[in-house]
Amino acid sequence: MYPAQFEQLIAMFEKLPGVGNKTAQRYAFTLLEKDQEEIGEMIDILNGLKEIRRCHICGFLSAEDTCPFCKDQTRNRSLIMVVANPQDVVAIEKTDSYKGMYHVLGGLISSSKGIYPEDINIEGLLKRITPEIKEIIVATSPTMDGEMTALYLDKVLKDKGVLITRLAHGLPMGASLDYADELTLIKALDNRRKIENE
Amino acid sequence: MYPAQFEQLIAMFEKLPGVGNKTAQRYAFTLLEKDQEEIGEMIDILNGLKEIRRCHICGFLSAEDTCPFCKDQTRNRSLIMVVANPQDVVAIEKTDSYKGMYHVLGGLISSSKGIYPEDINIEGLLKRITPEIKEIIVATSPTMDGEMTALYLDKVLKDKGVLITRLAHGLPMGASLDYADELTLIKALDNRRKIENE
């Protein structure tokens, strides 16, 4: 019923996660009120997206081949924290209490979603284990998939001669790591524990 | 902490109504997973926005000077329904029980928001009143601002020799017209009533 251009705009917003038709319409009308300059800026931002890649070492987002964390020579290179997503890195960084390296898996092993170990960046992690590495902190969320991934990582890492630890269960079970408040994250980091194998 | 291009993308989404940082990040990561072709399509859609204008007769969105409703010679030209926003036109059209013309005010008179009669398209409505026009249906939402606008329209239209009606109060007070279900809208349309002046 709207002009085709406007219906396309609504359809574009409807593809965003959790956005229904009403919300998509609200977003579309907001854009309609913007002037050509603002729309031009949005187009520039979308064009800039292609410059964003994954760091070839840790998998975090980066505008260059190597991300600022992996370049930073002041960070503790004997420590790697393994997280599911880039958002988790940002959540940890905000606590300002971790100065080691990161490894972003790009997801979690999930039997329900059919995500297998080879679908996430575990191979990249194994390649990073050199004698320099002393400890790997498995910082996956305390959910079913997070626990599954942590167990799998423990299995493939335990013979590598590095200490494997996990964030303490200060985090309530079932919650997503990247929604935790900073204090809870700091506690979880301080109380990280070695994975015990029976 | 993210690359500048990605922070800009998050900031762009944060400008949408009701979108906070977490939601903006979710949207941004969704876009990051799209390929260049899909991003190109989004850019085309944003470029197409400048072709959308307001119909010079009724104020509805249109890709041409005159919208399809105003062009349609099969519609009843003696009847004008006055609504606040283009969304309201779409809501009424979905009921499939109105075949007259529309007039989109582009807002409502509001003492709280400081919107005065001259800020919305009432002048355009007055210009449309010719001997051909028999009835004007004031279809503003039954909210404070909607009622205020309806009263004002009644005041400026009552000497024009046209019947002025309002949608029946089947709509619960305080709700927004464009969220009503179709049945409620059909009822409200059937039971429209003449505004009585003391």
Interface test with A, best of B2, B51, B177 (most A CBs within 10 A): B2
Q: Is the pLDDT of residue A172 over 70?
A: no
Tens digits of residue pLDDT in B100-156 = 999 999 999 999 999 999 999 999 999 999 999 999 999 998 788 998 999 999 999
- Scanning every residue of chain A, which has its alpha carbon at the shortest distance from the alpha carbon of B4? A63
**Predicted ipTM of the assembly:** 0.80
- The CATH code that applies to domain A75-166 is 3.40.1360.10
Tens digits of residue pLDDT in A127-165 = 999 999 999 999 998 788 998 999 999 999 988 989 999
What percent of chain A lies above the pLDDT cut of 90? 73
pLDDT of amino acid B180: 79
pLDDT of amino acid A173: 66
Q: Is the pLDDT of residue A191 over 90?
A: no
**Any B CB within 8 A of A175 CB:** no
- Chain A contact set for B28 (CB, 8 A): none
Task: Work out the burial of residue B88: count CB atoms within 10 Å of its CB; fewer than 13 is exposed, 13-18 middle, 19 or more buried.
Answer: buried
- The segment(s) of chain B belonging to CATH 1.10.8.420 are 4-51
pLDDT band, very low/low/confident/very high, at A166 (cuts 50, 70, 90): confident
pLDDT band, very low/low/confident/very high, at A181 (cuts 50, 70, 90): confident
Nearest Cβ partner for B51 among A5, A27, A87: A5
CA–CA min distance A198, chain B (Å): 39
**Any A CB within 8 A of B168 CB:** no
pLDDT of amino acid B198: 52
Spans of chain B, pLDDT less than 70: 169-173, 197-198
- Scanning every residue of chain B, which has its alpha carbon at the shortest distance from the alpha carbon of A179? B22
pLDDT band, very low/low/confident/very high, at A192 (cuts 50, 70, 90): confident
pLDDT of amino acid A103: 97
Tens digits of residue pLDDT in A60-85 = 999 999 999 999 999 999 999 999 99
pLDDT of amino acid B42: 95
- Scanning every residue of chain B, which has its alpha carbon at the shortest distance from the alpha carbon of A16? B27
**Any B CB within 8 A of A129 CB:** no
> SS3 string of chain B?
CCCHHHHHHHHHHHCCCCCCHHHHHHHHHHHHCCCHHHHHHHHHHHHHHHHCEECCCCCCEECCCCCHHHHCCCCEEEEEEEECCHHHHHHHHHHCCCCEEEEECCCCCECCCCECHHHCCHHHHHHCCCCCCCEEEECCCCCHHHHHHHHHHHHHHHHHCCEEEECCCCCCCCCCHHHCCHHHHHHHHHCCEECCCC
- Chain A contact set for B52 (CB, 8 A): 3, 5-6, 32
pLDDT of amino acid A141: 87
More confident of the two residues A181 and B12: B12
Q: Do B87 and A15 touch (CB under 8 A)?
A: no
- The segment(s) of chain A belonging to CATH 3.40.1360.10 are 75-166
Q: Is the pLDDT of residue A198 over 60?
A: no
Q: Do A49 and B4 touch (CB under 8 A)?
A: no
Q: How far is Cα of residue A115 from the mean position of the Cα atoms in its chain? A: 16
What is the CB-side half-sphere exposure of residue A45 using CA atoms within 13 A? 21
Give the A:B interface size as CB pairs under 8 Å. Answer: 114
Local structure of residue B142 (DSSP, 8 states): S
Pick the CATH number of A4-51 from 3.40.605.10, 1.10.8.420, 3.40.640.10, 2.40.128.130: 1.10.8.420
- Chain A contact set for B27 (CB, 8 A): 16-17
